[in-house]
Homo-oligomer: A and B are copies of this chain.
Amino acid sequence: MARKSLVGVVADELLDRIIAGEFPPGSSVPGELELSAKHEVSRMTVREAMKTLEAQRILSVERGRGTFVNPLNRWASLEAVLRAASEGVNDASAAIQLIELRRMLETGACELAAGRISDAEIGTLHGYVAAMRKAHDSDDLAAFVEADLAFHDVILRASENVFVAVLFEPLHRVLEKRRTQTSKFRDIQEHAIGHHQAIAEALESRDAGRSRSAMDAHMQQTLDDLKTYVLEAKTA
């Protein structure tokens, strides 16, 4: 684990204070000098921390006036918004919203991919389904998750839309922890294998509507699994 640099620590702590509501949107954060005193670092270190938050559109720096907090809907960092949205009891709501978002992108990408996917990629998809089946039989969780992720990645690339891939990347990173968590259950694995098989066949038929529906069904199942196994378990 790489130790965080001072800049990273300062940026994190400042973001925490913002999320905690100490500096609401529109208000200004303390000046660079004040922050450098509070965190016991030099002004340059504070400036670099500010620059990272500014690049994520969390802060707006105005020369001569100060540094201000942007409203949450202008933040450009999914991770930061996720941290803000997971405060308090909203964690379950945030998890559901993330899957809703994933559903939009994955079903959309799948619909596009139907008209663009190559025969070789179809073959690769079937290969990953077989890998999932094998991992399921030998009870290899890591291999199962890896094949699952690779399957979706092929479809994403086949959609031939760079921007979808870019927006999906941070989502992927945020969800990958949860993925391993839900894939632990053997019956969920069985459901997933069936859905992936159906998706691969739909894409093979090059039918955009059918491909979309197949992916949509998979996403619906994922949402149901999350509610049933993860969120319910948490309340118990």
Contacts A44-B44, A97-B163 given; 7 further ones with Cβ under 8 A? A47-B48, A48-B51, A52-B52, A52-B54, A100-B163, A104-B104, A104-B105
Residue of B whose beta carbon sits closest to that of A56: B55
Known pairs A76-B77, A169-B73; A100 contacts B162 (CB<8 A): no
Known pairs A48-B48, A51-B48, A55-B56; A74 contacts B169 (CB<8 A): yes
Q: How far is the CA of A5 from the CA of B63 in the complex (A)?
A: 10
Determine if A150 is an interface residue (Cβ-Cβ < 8 Å). Answer: no
By size class, the interface of chain A is 35 or more
Determine if A85 is an interface residue (Cβ-Cβ < 8 Å). Answer: yes
Option from B74, B76, B81, B163 in Cβ contact (under 8 Å) with A76? B76
Q: In the complex, which residues of chain B have a beta carbon less than 8 angstroms from the beta carbon of A167?
A: 78, 101, 167
